[in-house]
Amino acid sequence: MSGSAPRVINLYWALPALTKRVFAVPRATSSDDPQPQPPVQPDLDDCCHSGCNPCVFDLYDAALERYRSALAEWQERQARHAAPTRQNRPRARR
């Protein structure tokens, strides 16, 4: 055996089967896409009343707009995810 060449195993054709089992990506769940949280509204005492630009209330308003937009997008994704597709819709009995 000392004079024989090492045996080479070709795993190229087995690679797709191996990757499906070992490296499969898990399906996304609702916990992977949490609902956006609203920004914390500043107290009246958080404003210094000196005319800052931007004021803490301006920053809050901008954050609130971003939150509403993100919430609408999230709700749309949830509705799409929950909508029955042709494949998983129950068949009507005749």
Q: What is the pLDDT of residues 31-54, one digit of tens each?
A: 688 999 999 999 999 999 999 999
pLDDT at 75: 94
pLDDT value at residue 50: 94
Domain assignment present for 57: yes
C-alpha to C-alpha distance for 40 and 64, rounded to whole angstroms? 9
Question: What pTM was estimated for this model as a whole?
Answer: 0.56
Q: Look at residue 62 and tell me if it is in a domain.
A: yes
Helix (H) / strand (E) containing 90? none
CA angle 51, 53, 59 (to 5 degrees): 110
Whether 61 is covered by a domain: the verdict is yes
Q: In terms of pLDDT, which residue wins out, 83 or 64?
A: 64
With respect to residue 29, please indicate whether it lies within any of the assigned structural domains: no
Q: Is residue 60 part of a domain?
A: yes
Identify the domain containing residue 68 by its residue range: 49-81
pLDDT score for 13: 57
Domain count, the chain: 1
Q: With respect to residue 70, please indicate whether it lies within any of the assigned structural domains.
A: yes
Whether 11 is covered by a domain: the verdict is no
Among residues 39, 70, 41, 36, the alpha carbon closest in space to that of 57 is found at 41
Q: Given this model, what pLDDT does residue 81 score? A: 81
